[in-house]
Structure 1
């Protein structure tokens, strides 16, 4: 089940309709997780350097 979710496109909940909608141009959930991990890693390196 988890691997299936990783390959699906990024989606967000529309607060007006309470339905999940695909976000065009955001890629897959796996790509989004990779981007977040990179941001967190860079932030940690920055904090440790200062």
Structure 2
């Protein structure tokens, strides 16, 4: 079964990953796959997670 993550959670993880500079540490902290975090960062930089959409 696929999990759904809230926009707020994704933003929190992405911001933590951008500060930490280590996807593997952030992935372990949130118990996520590092490839998922990489995708979220990519989407975040494209503006997908902006709050005014």
User: Which structure: greater strand fraction?
Assistant: 1
**For the superposition of Structure 1 and Structure 2, which TM-score range results when normalised by the shorter chain?**
0.3 to 0.5
User: When the two structures are superposed, what TM-score results if normalisation uses the length of structure 1?
Assistant: 0.35
User: When the two structures are superposed, what TM-score results if normalisation uses the length of structure 2?
Assistant: 0.33
